[in-house]
Amino acid sequence: MKVVTSIAKMQELSRQTRGAGLCVGFVPTMGFLHEGHLELVRKAKALADVVVVSIFVNPTQFDRRDDFDTYPRDEKTDRALLEREGVDILFEPSAEEVYPEGADTCVNVPRLTHNLCGAHRPGHFDGVATVVSALFNMVRPDLAVFGEKDYQQLQLVRRMTRDLHFPVAIVPGPTVREADGLAMSSRNARLEPGHREQAPIINAALRAAAAAFLEGETGAARLLGIVREKLDSCKAIKLEYLELIDGESLEPVEVADQDSVIAVAAFMGAVRLIDNIIFARATAERRGNGRLDELERQGGDHDATISN
Ligand code: PAF
């Protein structure tokens, strides 16, 4: 695995790779890698000839300085994991190079970022959109893989890629879960042991709502009521938002259909957790073999299409 820190060097390697007729796959990360990231890497490897993973803890997407300062980092383990996955290039640019003195450009996708996480983390998605577009210009990939766990981020990246005409196919990677259903996240390591034990209730509550949808319930109030009732039974969970939304516009809907998603954010102590359930995926899984529970636990079968 080549480790590259210079942007010019990264651009040159990408130019050579593409010049040789090979496809460049890209997985952007902020490090502290877990199985969820590694699944995205595996997906990129299955689709591309050369895989680039970036590790860059992007300061502009943290709305709180202390969150940036305490964001978990483990460079040595990350490198070993990526080597083991057969990643070709690890790209670790410095903040000074990514944001040169006087950098003043901001990419903003307002309609997709005014609600959900965007309403609670001012500036967060401007930071994400800006750094992802900068990373696309540095890595120049043919395809890039983003996890469905950060559903709002995935949608904004799709929209930004389309609107700014980046020649990059955006590939979604299904959420990877712990054996008890908790969505994998770098933040899980910060949960107090008692909270860690209770946290899977978030996924269980979402699955209960999806099961009701699959049985014919479509009313937003009733579906969200199912989730809320379960979460309310856990005193440690402080709900930030819970919404039934259209999967593309991210606007709330009153009546659920195949395009709907339930998205949730909640605090357990100081740790903020997000999760979601995509009704189209739940339906496909139910049709596939009727074992929604099992598939949800495993992260589901993958949507292998390249779409942007
Ligand atoms: O999802 C993340 O880890 C980050 O938001 C990303 C896409 C790497 C941009 O910094």
221 alpha carbon to ligand 1 midpoint, in Å?
32
The first and second tokens of residue 20, run together, are: 């040789």
Output the DSSP codes for the chain: -EEE--HHHHHHHHHHHHHTTPPEEEEEE-SS--HHHHHHHHHHHHH-SEEEEEE---GGG-SSHHHHHTS---HHHHHHHHHHHT-SEEE---HHHHS-TT-------HHHHSSTHHHHSTTHHHHHHHHHHHHHHHH--SEEEEESSSHHHHHHHHHHHHHTT---EEEEEPPPB-TTSPBP-GGGGGS-HHHHHHTTHHHHHHHHHHHHHHTT--BHHHHHHHHHHHHHT-TTEEEEEEEEEETTT--B-SB--TTEEEEEEEEETTEEEEEEEEHHHHHHHHHHHS-HHHHHHHT-S-------
Query: Is residue 291 very low, low, confident or very high in pLDDT (cuts 50, 70, 90)?
Result: very low
Average confidence score pLDDT of the chain: 93
Task: Note whether 145 and 291 are within 8 A (CB).
Answer: no
Report the distance separating Cα 256 and Cα 215, nearest Å: 12
Residues 6 or more apart from 127 whose CB is under 8 A from it? 58, 59, 60, 61, 62
Q: What is the mean pLDDT of residues 150-173?
A: 98
Pocket of ligand 1 (CB under 6 A): 28-30, 58, 61, 128, 131-132, 150, 153
The pLDDT tens digits for 37-76 are 999 999 999 999 999 999 999 999 998 898 899 888 999 9
Q: Which residue of 153, 155, 160 sits with most ligand 1 atoms within 8 Å of its CB, as the best mutation to test the pocket?
A: 153
Angle between helices 7-19 and 124-139 (to 10 degrees): 50
Which residue is closest in CA terms to ligand 1's atom 9? 128
Q: Count of alpha carbons within 13 Å of 35, Cβ hemisphere only?
A: 12
Q: Which residue of 131, 138, 156 sits with most ligand 1 atoms within 8 Å of its CB, as the best mutation to test the pocket?
A: 131
Q: Which ligand 1 atom sits closest to the C-alpha of 61? A: 10
Check whether 300 has a pLDDT greater than 70: no
pLDDT given for residue 285 in this prediction: 86
308 alpha carbon to ligand 1 midpoint, in Å?
18
pLDDT given for residue 109 in this prediction: 98
Q: Is the pTM of the predicted complex or chain greater than 0.85?
A: yes
Domains of the chain listed by start with CATH number: 2-177 (3.40.50.620), 186-291 (3.30.1300.10)
30 alpha carbon to ligand 1 midpoint, in Å?
6
pLDDT given for residue 287 in this prediction: 85
Nearest Cα neighbor of 80 from 31, 153, 149, 17 is 31
Q: In what order do the strands lie in the sheet with 260-268?
A: 237-246, 260-268, 271-278
Check whether 122 has a pLDDT greater than 50: yes
pLDDT given for residue 27 in this prediction: 99
Q: Which ligand 1 atom sits closest to the C-alpha of 57? A: 10
Indicate if 195 belongs to the active site: no
Which residue is closest in CA terms to ligand 1's atom 8? 29
Check whether 297 has a pLDDT greater than 60: no
The pLDDT tens digits for 163-219 are 999 999 999 999 999 999 999 998 899 999 999 999 999 999 999 999 999 999 999
Check whether 87 has a pLDDT greater than 60: yes
Check whether 307 has a pLDDT greater than 80: no
pLDDT given for residue 289 in this prediction: 52
Check whether 234 has a pLDDT greater than 90: yes
128 alpha carbon to ligand 1 midpoint, in Å?
6
Q: Among residues 34, 37, 124, 302, which one is catalytic?
A: 37
Q: Which residue of 117, 130, 132 sits with most ligand 1 atoms within 8 Å of its CB, as the best mutation to test the pocket?
A: 132
Report the distance separating Cα 189 and Cα 195, nearest Å: 11
Report the distance separating Cα 303 and Cα 295, nearest Å: 13
**Residue that wins the pLDDT comparison between 300 and 176:** 176
- Residue 70's φ and ψ, nearest 5 degrees, are -100, 5
Nearest Cα neighbor of 28 from 128, 127, 107 is 128
